[in-house]
A = this chain, B = another copy of it.
Amino acid sequence: MTRDPDDLTELKERPRTEAEDLEDLALEEDYALNPEFVMQVDDALDRGDTDRLRELLAALRPEDIADLMGFLSADDREELLPHLDPEVLAEVLPELDTEIREDILEHLPSATLARALGEMDSDDAADVVDDLEAEQRAEVLAAMPEVDRAAIETTLAYDEESAGRLMQREVVAAPQFWTVGQTIDHLRRESDELPELFFDVYVVDPSYKPVGACPVSHLLRTKRDVPLAQIMEQVTEIPVDMDQEEVAYIFDKYNLISAPVVEPGGRLVGQITVDDIVGVIAEETEEDILALAGVSDAGRDAGVWGIVRSRLPWLMINTLTAAFAVSVIGYFQDEIVKLAILAVLMPIVASLGGNAGTQTLAVAVRALASRELSAANAVRTISREMTVGVLNGAALALVTGGVLYLLFRDVRLALAFGLALVINLFVAALAGALIPLALDRVGRDPAVSSSVFVTFVTDFTGFFAFLGLAALILL
C-alpha cells in the first residue's frame, strides 16, 4: 500500500513538533532566554507540575539553565534543583554567577554535589569547591574518589587569579620522535583518558618540557609517516603563577587557541584553552568599568546589603574629597554674597573639568590595560592629552564666554569664566593621564580609585580657579 505524499510529510514533521516548539519558545532570536518561557517555568514551579517542569528544562542547554537561575527567585531556584540530573548540574554549576552559585551550593546534598564534581574538568571543579563553606567542603571532598580529590586540592593550592587555577590538568603530549601516525594511533588507544576537547598536541622532550605544539588540524591533514618534529610550531609557555589578566593579554595578542602551562622548572603541568580566556577578558574589562564607576567587586546578583557594601565606602570617600574641594568655596563667601551669579556658574566649571578628566582617565586606563601605554610612550601621551585639554578648554571658553557676555554684558565675568575653564581642562587632562600612570607604576590597579582622585582635583581646581579669578578681576 502506497502512502499519500502529504501523509508522509506530516509523518516526517510531527515527531519534531512538541520538543522543538518548546526549544523555539525557550530562546529569543539572539539566544537570550524568552521572558515568556521564564514565566512558564515560574508557573510550573508554582503549580508543582513536575512533568511540565522536566519538559521545559529538557528544552534548554546547560548554559540556558544557568541563565534561567538568574531570572528565578531564590525559593524557585531551590525548588528547581532536585529536577536537575548530576550530569546536567555538572555543566550548569560552572556557568552560574558566583552569588547564585553560592546560594545553590548551600542547598545541594553533599552526595549529589560530589557526583556532579566528578563529571567536571579539574579547573571547574576546583572553582566550585572553592565556593563551599569549610564544613560542606570537607563533606563533599570526603565523598569523592581519592584521585579527583587530589586534583582539586592541587588546583586550589594555586593563587586565585593565576594560570594554575585557570588551567586544566588534562593535556595531550607526545615525544618529539613520534610520527603523525603513531600519535593518532596513541590517541585512538587512549581515547577514554583524553580531555573532552583539545586543540593542540604538545611535543615534549624527555624531561616533559614542551618544545613545540601541533595544532590538531595539522595532524589531520598530514601524512602518517611525517615526524611531529617536522610539523610542530613554536609554543608560548605560560608560567603556572602568571596572573590571569596577563594570560588573557598573551592569548589576545598572539591569537592563541591553547597554550601549555609550565612549572618553574619548565615541566608541562597543564593547559589553558581560549574558552577560559573569553571569560577572563569579559571579567577583567567588567571589573575596570565598575571600578571606574566606583563600584567594588560584588556579584551583580548580590542582595541589597551586598550592593550597599560594594558602593557605600566609595560614596563615603567621595563625601570626604567633596568636602575638601568645596572648603575652598568657604574662602570666597564674601565674593559670593556680593555677586550671587558666581555660585550659579561655579558648578559648571567644576563639572566640565570632571567630565574632561573622566574622558582622559577612561582612555588611559584602557590603554594601560592593553599595554598600549607604557614608559616608552608615556611622555608623548601625556603631552598630547594636555594639548587636547587646552584646545577643548579654549573651545568651551569661547562658546560659554560668548554666551555669558551676551547675557550679562560683563567682559570681566566672561573672561574669568573662560580662563577658569581652560585652566581646569588643562589640569583635568594632566590628572586624568598622570594619576592612572602613577597608580600603575606603584603596582596598584589604575582603574580602582583613580576617579576619586581625578574628580577631587577637578572640583578643587574648578572652584578655586573660577572664584579666585573672579575675586582678582571682578571685585
How far is it, in angstroms, between the C-alpha of A384 and the C-alpha of B236 when the chains are bound? 46
Q: Per-residue 0/1 for A288-300: is the Cβ within 8 Å of any B Cβ (1 yes, 0 no)?
A: 1110111100001
How far is it, in angstroms, between the C-alpha of A363 and the C-alpha of B376 when the chains are bound? 34
Among B70, B184, B333, B351, point to the contact of A343 (Cβ < 8 A).
Answer: B333
Among B220, B295, B336, point to the contact of A340 (Cβ < 8 A).
Answer: B336
Among B187, B236, B362, B375, point to the contact of A221 (Cβ < 8 A).
Answer: B187
How far is it, in angstroms, between the C-alpha of A293 and the C-alpha of B391 when the chains are bound? 19
- Is A387 at the interface (CB under 8 A from chain B)? yes
A134 to chain B: closest CB distance in Å? Answer: 30
Among B282, B323, B399, point to the contact of A285 (Cβ < 8 A).
Answer: B282
Closest to A286 in B: B366
On chain B, the residues within 8 Å of A375 by CB distance are: 35
How far is it, in angstroms, between the C-alpha of A356 and the C-alpha of B288 when the chains are bound? 17
On chain B, the residues within 8 Å of A318 by CB distance are: 351-352, 355
On chain B, the residues within 8 Å of A35 by CB distance are: 374-376
On chain B, the residues within 8 Å of A372 by CB distance are: 70, 97, 300-301
A311→B392 contact, CB < 8 A? yes
How far is it, in angstroms, between the C-alpha of A245 and the C-alpha of B273 when the chains are bound? 22
- Is A361 at the interface (CB under 8 A from chain B)? yes
A188→B221 contact, CB < 8 A? yes
A294→B400 contact, CB < 8 A? no
On chain B, the residues within 8 Å of A143 by CB distance are: none
> With A222-B191, A347-B347 in contact, is A388–B308 under 8 Å at CB?
yes
How far is it, in angstroms, between the C-alpha of A198 and the C-alpha of B220 when the chains are bound? 10
A390 to chain B: closest CB distance in Å? Answer: 10
> Which residues of A433-459 are within 8 A (CB) of B?
455, 459
A279 to chain B: closest CB distance in Å? Answer: 7
> Which residues of A183-242 are within 8 A (CB) of B?
184, 187-188, 191, 194, 197-199, 215-217, 219-223, 236, 242
- Is A252 at the interface (CB under 8 A from chain B)? yes
How far is it, in angstroms, between the C-alpha of A220 and the C-alpha of B376 when the chains are bound? 46
A473 to chain B: closest CB distance in Å? Answer: 19
A292→B362 contact, CB < 8 A? yes
A312, A344, A377 — which one has the most chain B CB atoms within 10 A of its CB? A344
A225 to chain B: closest CB distance in Å? Answer: 11
A392 to chain B: closest CB distance in Å? Answer: 5
Closest to A351 in B: B322
A333→B344 contact, CB < 8 A? yes
Among B275, B295, B463, point to the contact of A257 (Cβ < 8 A).
Answer: B275
| 24 contacting pairs across A/B (C-beta < 8 A) | A33-B374, A35-B375, A39-B376, A191-B221, A220-B220, A255-B275, A257-B274, A274-B278, A285-B285, A292-B293, A295-B363, A304-B384, A304-B388, A308-B395, A311-B359, A311-B392, A315-B356, A316-B399, A319-B400, A322-B351, A326-B347, A326-B348, A336-B337, A351-B455
Chain A residues packing against B (C-beta within 8 Å): 30-33, 35, 38-39, 61, 63, 67, 70-71, 97, 184, 187-188, 191, 194, 197-199, 215-217, 219-223, 236, 242, 246, 249-257, 274-275, 277-279, 281-282, 285-286, 288-290, 292-295, 300-301, 304, 307-308, 311-312, 314-316, 318-319, 322-323, 325-327, 329-330, 333-334, 336-337, 340-341, 343-348, 350-352, 355-356, 358-359, 361-363, 365-367, 370-372, 374-377, 384-385, 387-388, 391-392, 395-396, 399-400, 455, 459, 463
